[in-house]
Structure formats: structure tokens, C-alpha cells
Chains A and B, each alone.
Chain A
Amino acid sequence: MVEADESVRRGTVLVARRPSDHVWLILIWLALLTIPFIAPNAYVVSLANMALINLILIASLNLLMGFGGQISLGHAGFFGLGAYASGILNVKLGLSAWLGLPAAALIAGAAALVIGLPALRLRGHYLSMATLGWNAILVVLFNQLVDLTGGPNGLLGVQPFSLFGIRLDTEPRTFPLVWLASLLIMLAILNLLRSRLGRALRAVATNELGADAIGVDSFCTKLLFFVLSAGMAGIAGSLYVHVNQYASPETFGISGSILLIVMVALGGSGTYWGPLLGALIYTAVPQLLLDYEDAELMLFGLGMLVVLIVFPGGLANVPGAFMRRFGLKGRS
């Protein structure tokens, strides 16, 4: 009796104490808002900007891969397409960054539609293969269409966002923009996952035939999320190119796509908060390893192997795993 009472009490306390993901999201983003004030220098703020742009990339890939079970090896390509689309519209046609941003999302989304229409009809590795080929083609185009993209030297002279005549060209000035964009994307993903569509996506990921049987159009669901995820990568690309005022082909290669997949997995594939950890690792670890020069790659690879072997569910699942173990101990 006492035991039951206690468990009930513990249960209610847990429920009462645990704020919803929405509340957490607002709290975390409010805390992030202090970064420009407490950062020791502009470099740290620029890292925070990069981390938030990477977060959009990793979270959008996680939406497709973690929740939808579809592996895209071309996410960096869509990121690059967004960056070059927005950057070229700005440099060649003088289009404002504010128009480039939605244009980047639309172009990346449209490209995903074209790839997805044939590739997603089939299950298995076809999407991986098609997106890999697509990314390889994009890299060649970024490098070779020199008149348009600036070739291997990169796209120069991209104008920053500007608001009421103020150019957002310093790190503290761009931070609020990137902060808001990442918040809106994270909010959109959270709401999407809670919606009918999000449930359909998870049903498709679990069992496509089962999903079809209960009336979910699995092809359309996969296609929709592929397009959405590519569109978000396009937004990240537009932010990237206008914040850095520069884009260069090697940022958007297949190795970039593979690393993004790795970051989704390290953070916790199919968990809402995993990408936050993934983005942190993606941005911070290379900085921390800079001192080791040649050994950098080895340390990174070894760290990755250790995490994958010890915590195959990703770092976001570590507290849960510990709690479960702890809980089991308490009960016995």
C-alpha cells in the first residue's frame, strides 16, 4: 500500500515537474539569447551562429532520417543549392536576402520533389543512391559553372541581410536573425511531429505496408517530408551565405552530407533534442581539436566510433538509459 502510494506520488511529481517540449524549447532559446552578451569575443558569437545554422540542417535531416527512416546522402547538396540560389540571386540580380531566403527554400524543395518523385516510389537504398548522385552532380556544377558560382574560388560579394537600413553584417547583429530562424524551424518541426502528418510519417517509418493499410499514403508522406526537409536545408543555406557573405563548393560535398548523417546519429536519431547535441558536436568539436592538427581526424573518428558502439541510440538517449538503469536498481 505504502509502495503503491509512493509510486503514484513519484509518478505525479514527475509529470508535474516535467515541462512540455514547447516550454523547454522557449526556455532554451531564451537562454541562448544571452550568448552575444556573455560571449568573450565576436568569434564565439560567430560559432553560435554557425551552430544554429547547423542545427537547422541536422534537425531537418533528423526529421527525414530519424523520424521518417529515409536516408538522404544529399543534405549538404540541398544546403549548397539554397546557399548558391540565394547568393547568386543576390550577386547577379541584386535580389534582397529577404527574398533570397524563401527562394532558396522553394528551389531546394522543388529539386527534392524532382529527385523524390522517382526515388521514393521504391524502398531501400534508392533514395540514398539517388541523393548521393545528385549531390555529386551539384558539386561538379558549383565548381564548373564559374560564371555563375565563381567556381572553386567561391561566390564572393554576397550582401548581408539588412533591416531598416541596418546591415546585419557583424556577428552580434546576425545572431538574432539566426536565433529566430532556428527557433521557428525547431517549433515547426515539433508541431509537425505532433500533427496528423507527423504521426503518419512515424507510421510509414515503422511499417510502410501497415501504414498503407490504414489509409496513409506512404509515398506522398515520404515525398512531403523529403521536400520539407530539403526546403529547410535551403533556408539554412540562404542564412549561411548571407551571414558569411561567401560560399565555396567544398562546404557542400558528399563528405558534408555524410557528416550530417553522423551528427544526427551521434545526437540521437529520431529524438527531438538529439540534433541540438549533434549541432553542438558538429560546431564545437572541430574547434576543440584544432590544437591537435594532424591527429584531429583520428580523434574525431575514434570519438565517433566509441559513441556509436557504447551508445548506439545517440547521446540524447544517454540520460534515459541511465535513468532506466537507475530505476531498475531502485525497484529491485
Chain B
Amino acid sequence: MQTSSAFLQLLVAGISTGSIYALIALGFNVVFKSTGAMNFAQGEWVVMGGMISALLLGTFSSVGVACLLAVLLVAIFGLLSERLVIRPLRHPTALLITLVSIGLSICTRSFVMLTLGKKPVGYPGFSGATTISLGGVTFQAQTLWIVGLTLAFLVIMHFFFERSMLGKALRAAAADREAAAIVGVRVETTILISFGIAAFAGALAGAIITPLTLASYDQGAMFGFKGFSAAMLGGVGSLPGAVVGGLALGLLEAFGSFYISSDFKDAIAFAVLLLILFVRPSGLLGRADVVKV
């Protein structure tokens, strides 16, 4: 009984952090698909989501409203970033966009620090500090919000990419830029939209995790690396891959830190990740790239 409840407790913790990683990985994948670049600014948007939510909570009394507005603001910030630093590039190669995104992440982190302060901020969960006990497992109601909102967002994204015109245009541009441009897709606009979606996903992750962990301006890099790893683990560029990769990473961390060592939590997660990559280079769900010679 003791071990089984510990197991369930870890499962809940793993799924909840895993959902956050999945959201970040999704943002990462969307930009990777449209530009081929690794977006180092992804983690900063997570922090921004949490910190702006906390700021807005001073004006709006409802946590939900504050978070929604914050996520929208960060999405706009993501769109603006693309216009300001990616669009002006004359020859936007994947490597150059990756490098520029490092500069963007430094500027974003510093912008957050200068405007929102260095102090970690937090706020109550969407259902206050309610805890739920279920089958010997106790967890915060916010955990359910995290899993539920992540699921909802993933479903919306799925329908967006499969059904909507804009989503199909994004996929077309990702599959073949030139061919998409010929049939009338504005490739530049799809990159802009992908930054907006990525910032939205990141900020959503930040807004819903902050009640459990607090948000501070210097956590962005950590979130970014976790999302990057989750994306790699699941298969870069794949939407279900981001989910599987995120959950796998979250569970690995939760169980690794309990059963092996919490000091070496990150090392265990990354070691398993490297092993998986060496055995299945295209990720758990990714298809092997067929490169035309």
C-alpha cells in the first residue's frame, strides 16, 4: 500500500510537470517546423506568462482572467519579436535564426527583469489552494487544471493544424516553402504565426505552473532546455511527439528523483534521454527522416 500510493503520487507529479514540458515542447516544435531553427527564446515566454499573470492579478481579481490576458499579451510579444528580429534577416538560415533567438532570449530575460523585477512571484491556483485526495493520493486542484488545460490546448492545436485553412497553410509551408509559396501561402506570415503560437503555448505553461512553483525571471533557460529535450525525446516537429516526450521527461524526473536520487534528477533524465536518442535517433514518435539525395 505504502509503495503503491507513493507510485501514484509520483505518477501525478510526473504527469503534471510532463504537461508543462509538453506545452513548451509544442511551442518549440511549431517554430522548428516553420523555420528549421532551435528557438532559445521559448523558455523566456514561459517565465513571462507567469510573471505577467502575477502583475495583472493586482488589477483583475480573478486568477483566470489575469492568466488569460497574460497569455494573450505574451503571444503578442512573440509576434512582435518575430517582426522585430527575425523578419529583418536578409538570408534567414536555420542557424542564423537559432543564433538570433539566443539574442532574443537574452533581451527578453533582461526585459522581464527590468520591468517585472527580480523577485520570484506566485499566486493562488484557479481553485484556490484546494487539495484533492483520491485513492491515497493527495494533490492540489491546480494539477487537474494543468492537465485539463494542456489537453484542451493540444486538442485545439490538433484541429487547428488538421482542419483550419491557416493551420494547413502552416503545415504546407513547413513541408515545402517554395511549393507553398507558389500556391499562394505567405511563408513569412506562417513564420510569424508560428512564433505567436509558440509564445502562447509557452505563456500558457508558465501561467498554469506558477501557482505550484513560483516564477522568477531567471528560470527561462531551464524551461527552454527541458522543452527542447522533450521535443527531441518525442521527435522534433511532431505534435504527438511533444506530448509523449514531455510526459516521458516529466515521469522520468519524478521517478528518478524518488527511486534513485533527487540530487542527480537532471542527470538521470538526461542520461536516459541520450540513451533513447542513440537507440531511436528520430525520437519516440518521430519518423526517420528520408533525405532525398
Contact = CB atoms under 8 A, between A and B. Distances in A.
Interface of A: 71, 118-119, 122-126, 128-130, 132-134, 136-137, 140-141, 144, 209, 254-255, 258, 261-262, 265, 294-295, 297-298, 300-302, 304-305, 308-309, 312
B107 A302 contact: yes
Contacts of A124: 289
Centre residue among A118, A128, A141, A309 by max chain B CB count within 10 A: A309
A298 B110 contact: yes
Interface in B125-141: none
Nearest to B283: A129
A119 B278 contact: yes
B266 A136 contact: yes
Contacts of B89: 309, 312
Given A141-B267, A258-B40, A300-B106, A132 B225 contact: yes
Nearest to A115: B274
Given A262-B102, A301-B105, 6 more contacts: A130-B274, A265-B99, A294-B110, A298-B110, A301-B106, A309-B100
B170 interface: no
A137 B110 CA distance: 27
B33 interface: no
Interface stretch (B15-23, B180-188, B203-211, B228-236): B228-236
B100 A140 contact: no
Contacts of A309: 85, 88-89, 100
A159 to B, nearest CB: 29
Interface residues of B, number: 42
A204 to B, nearest CB: 15
A296 B170 CA distance: 37
Contacts of B271: 133, 137
A124 B288 CA distance: 12
A294 B114 contact: yes
Interface stretch (B49-57, B71-79, B90-98, B161-169): B90-98
A71 B225 CA distance: 16
Nearest to A264: B99
A133 B109 CA distance: 23
A255 B99 contact: no
Contact of B114 (A71, A119, A137, A298): A298
Interface of B: 38, 40, 85, 88-91, 95-96, 99-100, 102-107, 109-111, 113-114, 221, 225, 228-229, 232, 236, 263-264, 266-267, 270-271, 273-274, 277-278, 281, 289, 291, 293
Nearest to B85: A305
B106 A126 contact: no
A249 to B, nearest CB: 13
Given A124-B289, A132-B228, A308 B100 contact: yes
A201 B114 CA distance: 44
11 contacts: A119-B277, A124-B289, A129-B229, A129-B277, A137-B274, A144-B263, A209-B293, A262-B99, A294-B114, A298-B114, A305-B104
Contacts of B91: 312
B52 to A, nearest CB: 18
State the main secondary structure of chain A at its contact with B: helix
Contact of B99 (A128, A140, A297, A308): A308
B228 to A, nearest CB: 7
Contact of A126 (B266, B281, B291): B281
Contacts of A265: 99
B130 to A, nearest CB: 35
B266 A118 contact: no
Nearest to B91: A312
A132 B110 contact: no
Contacts of B102: 258, 261-262, 304
Given A305-B85, A308-B100, A144 B264 contact: yes
B232 A312 contact: no
A297 B109 contact: yes
A80 to B, nearest CB: 14
Given A140-B267, A309-B89, A298 B100 contact: no
Contacts of A134: 270, 274
Contacts of A119: 277-278
A297 B110 CA distance: 6
Contacts of B40: 258
B51 to A, nearest CB: 16
Nearest to B99: A265
Nearest to B84: A305
A140 B266 contact: yes
Contacts of A262: 99, 102-103
Contacts of A258: 40, 102
B118 to A, nearest CB: 9
A162 B267 CA distance: 36
Contacts of B273: 133
Contact of A312 (B38, B96, B113): B96
A295 B114 contact: yes
A123 B278 CA distance: 13
A150 B38 CA distance: 34
Centre residue among A119, A140, A144, A254 by max chain B CB count within 10 A: A140
B281 A122 contact: yes
B272 to A, nearest CB: 9
A312 B271 CA distance: 35
B270 A137 contact: yes
A132 B224 CA distance: 12
A209 B236 CA distance: 23
Contacts of B232: 125, 129
Contacts of A141: 267
